[in-house]
Amino acid sequence: MKNEISQYINVRVSAKCEEAQDIASFELVACDGGSLPVFAAGSHIDVKVSESLTRQYSLCNSPAETHRYVIAVQKEPSSRGGSKAMHETVKVGDTLTIGAPKNNFRLAHDAERHLLLAGGIGITPILCMAESLAIREASFELHLCTRSIDRTAFRERIAGSHFSEKVHFHFDDGVAEQKFDMQRQLAQSQSGTHLYVCGPKGFMDAVLSSARAGGWPEHCLHYEFFSAEPVSADSDEGFELQLASSGRIVAVRKGQTALEALTEAGIEVASSCEQGVCGTCATRVLVGIPDHRDLYFTAEQHAANDQFTPCCSRAKTTRLVLDL
Ligand code: FES
């Protein structure tokens, strides 16, 4: 089944605010007026934007709140439909169907200190983490890097918060002294400190490669990608999937995803982002070597080759036997 949400919740859009240029926030409350499921910092929800479109958005209000969820959406010029619909179609009073919060981007509660790095709209889960850490009086520092003040969401909320002194703003168009000094921050791993990063892929790649070069242990690096960059499919070859339960073989054509092939064959696999970032479609691999193209699993999980994301990943062997 495509775009499946495991637990449906009907919510009403109770507020929609322009937080910055091309960034709008949406406050969602339960249609029945009750409490919403509790969530932890770093959580996201699936939002059914239309019948055929489900998108993931991080929760950016305080996890101490149960009366509402707040999400923020950036209008993307290259939108595949989700951000455009949220900006142009969804209005206050509308009802939306969402999924219960899921969390792939958790705070390490045993860390002595937390270094939070956000690029642009990546502030959404990071802000929720800051709220959570401030409530727990944990040691943390947040750096928010954006193109300009006009494009900085939640600037006023942060400035008025009780943790404002822990937040540093860095604007690409600002003077040199205020720019984010990645080298200085990450050149050396800091004992007991965990690093969290969210933002555009280029920003995240730069942060993660600087941190790895600086010797930060992998278990201290926490990240969540919003979307993947398109990958050229020119050199892709077709391959086969075999279902372990029945022995049935499904051919994946060149130019077709494994998920599309399975769906075409009437085999249901839950999916959501279809870009390899959410993990919804993760499927166990029993035999064969996947060609991992997702940003969801860690390098260690990729190396194990015992699961893959059929929405984007392919195969290095002619056949993958799946636990389906
Ligand atoms: Fe999101 Fe495959 S559907 S990773």
CATH code of the domain covering residue 312: 3.10.20.30
The amino acid at residue 4 is E
Ligand 1: residues with CB < 6 A are 271-274, 276-281, 294, 296, 309, 311
Q: Would residue 316 count as lying in a domain?
A: yes
Q: For 275-302, what is each residue's pLDDT tens digit?
A: 888 888 999 999 999 999 998 898 889 9
The CATH code of the domain that includes 76 is 2.40.30.10
Residue among 4, 52, 278, 307 to mutate when testing ligand 1 (max atoms within 8 A of CB): 278
CB 45 within 8 A of CB 100: yes
* 139 and 64 within one domain: no
How many angstroms is it from 265 CA to the middle of ligand 1? 19
* 117 and 63 within one domain: no
CB 242 within 8 A of CB 319: yes
* 191 and 127 within one domain: yes
Q: Would residue 230 count as lying in a domain?
A: no
pLDDT (0 to 100) of residue 54: 79
* 125 and 95 within one domain: no
Residues forming a β-bridge with 71? 26
Q: Would residue 204 count as lying in a domain?
A: yes
Q: Which two tokens stand for residue 214?
A: 């600086």
Distance CA 294, CA 211 (A): 21
How many angstroms is it from 322 CA to the middle of ligand 1? 16
Tell me which of 80, 103, 126 is where a domain ends: 103
pLDDT (0 to 100) of residue 1: 38
Q: Which two tokens stand for residue 78?
A: 């290259």
* 83 and 137 within one domain: no
Distance CA 71, CA 195 (A): 23
Q: Is the pLDDT of residue 81 over 80?
A: no
Q: In which order are the strands placed within the sheet that holds 307-308?
A: 249-252, 239-243, 319-322, 283-287, 307-308
Give the total number of structural domains in the chain: 3
CA dihedral 161, 167, 170, 174 (to 10 degrees): 60
| Residue 296 alpha carbon, nearest atom of ligand 1 | 4
Q: For 236-252, what is each residue's pLDDT tens digit?
A: 889 999 999 999 999 99
What is the arithmetic mean of pLDDT over 208-228? 88
Q: Would residue 231 count as lying in a domain?
A: no
Return the number of other C-beta atoms located less than 10 Å from residue 158's C-beta.
Answer: 19
Tell me which of 225, 255, 289 is where a domain ends: 225
Q: Would residue 61 count as lying in a domain?
A: yes
Rg (CA), the chain: 20
Q: Is the pLDDT of residue 56 over 90?
A: no
* 289 and 266 within one domain: yes
pLDDT (0 to 100) of residue 50: 78
pLDDT (0 to 100) of residue 2: 41
* 87 and 118 within one domain: no
How many angstroms is it from 28 CA to the middle of ligand 1? 24
Q: Would residue 232 count as lying in a domain?
A: no
pLDDT (0 to 100) of residue 166: 97
* 220 and 249 within one domain: no
Total-model pTM = 0.80
Distance CA 284, CA 143 (A): 37
| Residue 310 alpha carbon, nearest atom of ligand 1 | 2
How many angstroms is it from 117 CA to the middle of ligand 1? 24
Q: Is the pLDDT of residue 161 over 60?
A: yes
* 213 and 160 within one domain: yes
Q: Which residues contact 174 (CB under 8 A, 6 or more apart)?
A: 148
Tell me which of 64, 84, 103 is where a domain ends: 103
What is the arithmetic mean of pLDDT over 208-224? 93
Q: Would residue 2 count as lying in a domain?
A: no
Residue among 2, 55, 277, 322 to mutate when testing ligand 1 (max atoms within 8 A of CB): 277
How many angstroms is it from 173 CA to the middle of ligand 1? 35
Range of the domain at 118: 113-225
How many angstroms is it from 274 CA to the middle of ligand 1? 4
Q: Would residue 178 count as lying in a domain?
A: yes
How many angstroms is it from 143 CA to the middle of ligand 1? 29
* 125 and 53 within one domain: no
Residue among 52, 311, 322 to mutate when testing ligand 1 (max atoms within 8 A of CB): 311
pLDDT (0 to 100) of residue 190: 82
Which of 83-87, 115-119, 249-253 is predicted with the least confidence, judged by mean pLDDT?
83-87
Q: Which residues contact 225 (CB under 8 A, 6 or more apart)?
A: 201, 204, 277, 295, 296
CB 74 within 8 A of CB 227: no
* 273 and 170 within one domain: no
* 189 and 146 within one domain: yes
Q: Please give the share of the chain, as a percent, with pLDDT higher than 90.
A: 76
Q: Is the pLDDT of residue 233 over 70?
A: no
